[in-house]
C-alpha cells in the first residue's frame, strides 16, 4: 500500500505563495517523484520569448520542494527542510509549457535515519525540465537538508 500524497499540491500553494502567483500545477505527486507544470504566460517570458531563467529555475526548485514535502511529511514536526545549494544547466531555449520532473536522489529512509542519529542530513533532488514536446531544456540539482527543530 502506498502513502497518500494528495495533500502536497494544496500544501505547496498555501506554504509558498509564489506557486499560486506563477500558476504552477502539480500533475503527479509521489513519495520520491513529483511532476510540476508551468503554464506559458507572456508576463513570465524573457527577451527571446521563452520563460525567464529565474522562472525556469523556480519551477524546478518548486518541484524539488514538493518531492521533499511528500517524502518527509511525517517528519516535518521535528525538522525543517531547507535548500543548501543548487545548480542549473540551461540546455536549450525553453518555449511553451514547461514540465519539471523532480526525483529524490537518496532513499528517504536513509535520510530519516541520519536525522534520527543526530546528524543534519543532506540529500539531492534531481530535476529534469522539458518543453511541451518532451525535449529536455534544463537540468537542476537541488541539495536539501532537514534542519532539526529546536
Three-state DSSP string of 100-130: EEEEECCCHHHHHHHHHCCCCCEEEEEEEEE
Q: How confident is the model at residue 1 (pLDDT cuts 50, 70, 90)?
A: very low
pLDDT in tens, 39-78: 999 998 889 888 899 999 999 999 999 999 999 999 999 9
Domain extents in the chain: 7-148
* Cα dihedral: 12, 43, 142, 132 (round 10): 90
Considering only CA atoms, give the Rg of the chain: 15
Q: What is the mean pLDDT of residues 30-46?
A: 93
CATH of domain 7-148: 3.10.129.10
Per DSSP, helices labelled H in 16-121 are: 17-22, 53-72, 108-116
Q: How confident is the model at residue 98 (pLDDT cuts 50, 70, 90)?
A: very high
Amino acid at each position: 500500500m502506498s502513502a497518500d500524497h494528495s495533500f502536497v499540491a494544496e500544501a505547496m500553494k498555501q506554504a509558498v505563495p509564489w506557486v499560486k502567483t506563477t500558476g504552477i500545477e502539480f500533475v503527479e505527486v509521489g513519495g520520491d517523484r513529483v511532476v510540476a507544470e508551468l503554464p506559458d504566460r507572456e508576463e513570465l517570458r524573457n527577451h527571446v520569448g521563452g520563460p525567464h531563467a529565474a522562472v525556469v529555475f523556480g519551477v524546478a526548485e518548486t518541484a524539488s520542494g514538493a518531492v521533499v514535502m511528500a517524502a518527509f511529511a511525517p517528519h516535518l514536526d521535528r525538522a525543517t527542510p531547507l535548500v543548501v545549494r543548487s545548480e542549473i544547466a540551461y540546455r536549450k531555449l525553453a518555449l511553451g509549457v514547461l514540465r519539471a520532473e523532480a526525483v529524490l536522489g537518496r532513499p528517504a529512509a536513509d535520510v530519516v535515519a541520519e536525522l534520527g542519529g543526530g546528524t543534519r542530513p543532506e540529500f539531492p533532488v534531481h530535476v529534469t525540465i522539458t518543453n511541451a514536446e518532451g525535449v529536455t531544456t534544463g537540468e537542476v540539482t537541488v541539495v536539501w537538508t532537514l534542519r532539526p527543530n529546536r
